[in-house]
Amino acid sequence: MGLFSSILKGTGFSFSWKRAVGLTALRSKASRRIGVPTSRQGVERKIGATLLGALFGTSKKKGRKKKGLF
């Protein structure tokens, strides 16, 4: 642990350099735009929904209109 994280430990505050740089938001926007999840849970959820849709013939949910990447 670094000095910064050891000072903040137990305060309910966490720091992420990825969030500070904007990498998390960019990844999230790109994932929504292309329709492919980037997290393991998202991939599992998408595969499960696809399989259930194929088995039971459920229609896809109507999504929002897609905006630009940024």
Counting the structural domains of the chain, the total is 1
Ramachandran assignment for 35, one of left (phi > 0), alpha (psi -120 to 50 degrees), beta (any other): left
What CA–CA distance (Å, rounded) separates 55 from 20?
43
CB 27 within 8 A of CB 38: yes
pLDDT in tens, the chain (70 residues): 566 666 666 677 778 888 899 998 999 999 999 988 988 999 999 999 999 999 988 666 655 666 666 5
CB 29 within 8 A of CB 69: yes
Residue 45 falls inside a structural domain: yes
Residue 59 falls inside a structural domain: no
Residue 22 falls inside a structural domain: yes
Domain that holds residue 49: 18-54
Residue 25 falls inside a structural domain: yes
CB 53 within 8 A of CB 60: yes
CB 8 within 8 A of CB 15: yes
Residue 37 falls inside a structural domain: yes
Residue 65 falls inside a structural domain: no
